[in-house]
Amino acid sequence: MLMGVCMRYRKDESEAAAILNEGFLKILKNLDKYKSNVPFEAWIKRIMINTVIDEFRKNRKVRELIENTDFEDYHNHEGLVEMNTADLNFDAEQLEQMIKRLPPVSQKVFNLFAIDGYTHAEIGEMLGISVGTSKWHISSARKKLKEFIQSALKAEEKRNANF
């Protein structure tokens, strides 16, 4: 489960494994802080996500990719993705590969928002971006994912037409 969390945020398995090891170390060092009223799985998942975010903040190259534009007034909601077709035609691994094709910051924001359930305010605080920028990344990621899905569906239709 924890490797799955790391792989959602890193494209390279060896990088994800390194973050996983760092997260395990934090879990072990903080076992005395665990409170039994919180499910253990949720507690370790939260530590792993925080480890991924900490690594993101330390990674200077990725940080330079963050645009300093405030997208607070960006309200383009055209082309939001309808996932029913995608759910019917693609398995989780194919959809995960599409998510990994997103630009690094949009991928992180999308994972935090759509998969891990963080709010835009929480994402903004974790990544040092505004709420509007977080929303823009979600909109952009959805638009790109819709394009990826449509392209894959067209390719599938083309393959089926050739049979």
Confidence category of residue 154, pLDDT binned at 50, 70, 90: confident
Q: Using an 8 Å Cβ cutoff, are 146 and 83 in contact?
A: no
Reading the block at residue 67, the tokens are: 């645009």
**Is 80 exceeded by the pLDDT of residue 150?**
yes
Average pLDDT over residues 131-154: 91
The winner for highest mean pLDDT among 2-6, 29-33, 65-69 is 29-33
Q: Using an 8 Å Cβ cutoff, are 145 and 87 in contact?
A: no
CA-based torsion, 104, 106, 110, 116: positive or negative: positive
Reading the block at residue 120, the tokens are: 């835009």
Ramachandran category for residue 128: left, alpha or beta (phi over 0 → left; psi -120 to 50 → alpha): left
Domain at 67-163, CATH from 1.10.10.10, 3.40.50.300, 3.50.50.60, 3.40.50.720: 1.10.10.10
**Is 70 exceeded by the pLDDT of residue 88?**
no
The reply to whether the predicted model has a pTM over 0.75 is no
The reply to whether 67-163 shares the fold of 1-58 is no
* Domain assignments of the chain as residue spans, ordered by start: 1-58, 67-163
Determine the Cα–Cα distance for residues 135 and 103; give it in Å rounded to an integer: 15
**Which CATH class name applies to 1-58?**
mainly alpha
Angle between helical axes of 13-29 and 2-9 (0-180°, round to 10): 130
